[in-house]
Amino acid sequence: MASKNYYDPADLRKFGNITEWSKELGEKFFEYYNSVFQEGALTAREKSLIALAVAHTEMCPYCIDAYSKDGLQRGITKEEMMEAVHVGAAIKSGASLVHGVQMMNKINKLEM
Amino acid sequence: MLKEKKPTLQSLHKRESNLAKGKAQLEYLSNGIFANGELPTFAQKIKESDDFPLRPNSLEILQINLGYMCNQVCAHCHVDAGPDRKEIMTIETMEQCLEVIKNTSAHTLDLTGGAPEMNPNFRWFVEEASKAGIKDFIVRSNLTIIRANKKNYDLPEFFKQHNVHVVSSMPHWTRGKTDKQRGSGVFDQSIKALQELNAVGYGMPESNLKLDLVYNPSGAFLPGDQKSMEQDFKKALLEDFGIHFHELFAITNLPISRFLDYLIASDNYEDYMYQLVEAYNQAAVKNVMCRNTLSVSWDGFLYDCDFNQMLELKVASKTQHISEYNESLLQNRNIIISQHCYGCTAGAGSSCQGAVTN
């Protein structure tokens, strides 16, 4: 039965079900996803913090739940996690504000 | 202004909570998501790989609980231990245990509690048991007991004299996380105790005096990779406090006793059980600790593991007490299981010796 809410925490457990309607693409996605989070040039710990920051900028409640828990499991501290969120927020606000230059350019061009 | 006193956590027994009883916990674990078919029961799960009924391999570890009394009241404690628990092993039961220790085929003797050091006959028992020449003689020390009373200050030296292998809990290398789980001030006292153990040689690189730490997650999540956690702990404890230790055991919190009470009260129970079931690792079933361990309670009864002891599930054998111990008969038993067993098979597996798979 369809939920009356757009987001239901229980839906995160069903993420894997997306393969049911498109097996090949779904499986390719999960294989890629799992490979991305393996230890590489970056540690799995660093990747977890990047994922947490992006989860916030994307405002994805499922991802926030998942990577808050992932961070705890890895022993990442609250302070480290909040700093990562600020990095995401700084880039997000910076991305808005840097468009202020475009506004200034346009106004400077239009004004006599 | 008067400072508001923080309420001290009491055991479930003291609070007369329904969850103090093993039967009530087992009922909870068998109802809800396991009764309505949302999640498979542990028996159903291990039947998929023909591991049912679960049977013992050869006995390696004899774990003896010297009593539920403890100077700490940890929020996650599966023993429901604390200062208000008065169950303590008597000298008569200790003598019965010593008879078994002399003749067992187990290579490891593991003393636990509560705080085993709070048993008034603890030192006598260690002295006698060490004469049996068991290869690995573990005492699970909560660390703060070494600092709790002047008469305990020489415990590091006492452990050294009897070549005891010390295994101690340390949920995190930060004060906040440790104190939240184990009580205010526990972190500072634990750090001092670790430094004192180091001072007599425990945990030092190349030292034969083994000092291992136990990590339990401080909340409704599973432990991370044991080796990575060990590296993080080693780096932080050495840099911040000059502390050395040997190995870190990452142990999953099982959904029983005070941890079950916490899961229910914080509305994390279902999510936690989903996590455990989703992380089920069939390889861990092969090495789960009930297959190589026997647990003895303060009153001498025998259990498949420490967790079954707390759930009051005695071994399914004609011989259920240390006074009538019969190793070959005990080896020929079925291990009693319930949904809490998922805690030992999640991820890399979990036991009193940490992960059970590589």
Question: By the CB < 8 Å criterion, does B240 face chain A?
Answer: no
Is residue B138 within 8 Å of residue B249, measured between CB atoms?
no
Looking at the complex, report in whole angstroms how far the Cα of residue A45 sits from the nearest Cα belonging to chain B. Answer: 9
Looking at the complex, report in whole angstroms how far the Cα of residue A22 sits from the nearest Cα belonging to chain B. Answer: 22
- Chain-chain contact of B222 with A73 (C-beta, under 8 angstroms): yes
Q: Which residues on B lie below 8 Å from A13 (Cβ)?
A: 274, 278
Find the closest chain B residue to A39 by CA distance: B228
CA distances in angstroms from A60 to A9, A45, A51, A95, B281, listed in the order given: 11, 20, 11, 19, 29
Place of tokens 């634990």: B190
Average pLDDT, chain B: 94
Both tokens assigned to B105? 């085929």
Q: How many domains does one find in chain A?
A: 1
- Chain-chain contact of B228 with A77 (C-beta, under 8 angstroms): no
pLDDT digits (tens, 9 = 90+) for B305-325: 999 999 999 999 999 999 999
Extract the residue ranges of chain B whose pLDDT is less than 70.
1-8
**Long-range pairs of B30-33 with CB within 8 A, sequence gap ≥ 24:** B30/B338, B30/B339, B32/B270, B33/B270, B33/B273, B33/B274
Looking at the complex, report in whole angstroms how far the Cα of residue B61 sits from the nearest Cα belonging to chain A. Answer: 29
Q: Is A36 exposed, middle or buried (0-12, 13-18, 19+ CB in 10 A)?
A: exposed
Domain-located, residue A11 = no
Average pLDDT, chain A: 95
Domain-located, residue A92 = yes
CB pairs below 8 Å between A and B: how many? Answer: 24
Q: Bridge-partner residues for B314, per DSSP?
A: B303
| Residue B308 pLDDT | 98
Q: Which residues on A lie below 8 Å from B271 (Cβ)?
A: 9
Angstrom distance (rounded) from CA B309 to CA B38: 28
pLDDT digits (tens, 9 = 90+) for B213-257: 999 998 999 999 999 999 999 999 999 999 999 999 999 999 999
Both tokens assigned to A61? 């409640």
The residue segments making up the domain with residue A39 are 22-110
| Residue B342 pLDDT | 98
Domain-located, residue A14 = no
Q: Which residues on A lie below 8 Å from B174 (Cβ)?
A: 77
Burial readout B206-223 (b: 16 or more C-beta within 10 A, e: otherwise): eeebbbbbbbbbbbbbbb
pLDDT at A85 over 90: yes
* Beta strand pairing call for B211-215 and B165-169: parallel
Phi, psi dihedrals of residue A75, rounded to the nearest 5° = 80, 15
Question: By the CB < 8 Å criterion, does A69 face chain B?
Answer: yes
pLDDT digits (tens, 9 = 90+) for B124-141: 999 999 998 889 999 999
Angstrom distance (rounded) from CA B300 to CA B323: 7
Find the closest chain A residue to B177 by CA distance: A77
Q: How confident is the model at residue A2 (pLDDT cuts 50, 70, 90)?
A: low
pLDDT at A1 over 60: no
Angstrom distance (rounded) from CA B143 to CA B157: 14
CATH code, A29: 1.20.1290.10
Looking at the complex, report in whole angstroms how far the Cα of residue A77 sits from the nearest Cα belonging to chain B. Answer: 9
Q: Residue B45: which region, alpha, beta or left (left: phi > 0; alpha: psi -120 to 50)? A: alpha
Angstrom distance (rounded) from CA B272 to CA A68: 15
pLDDT at A79 over 60: yes
Question: By the CB < 8 Å criterion, does B38 face chain A?
Answer: no
Domains and their CATH numbers in chain B: 18-30+40-345 (3.20.20)
| Residue B175 pLDDT | 85
Q: Which residues on B lie below 8 Å from A69 (Cβ)?
A: 221
Closest among B272, B274, B238 to B256, alpha carbons compared: B272
Instruction: Give the rounded percent of residues in chain A with a pLDDT score beyond 90.
Output: 91
B222, B228, B269: best to mutate for the A interface, most A CBs within 10 A: B228
| Residue B7 pLDDT | 54
Domain-located, residue A103 = yes
Domain-located, residue A15 = no
- Chain-chain contact of B174 with A77 (C-beta, under 8 angstroms): yes
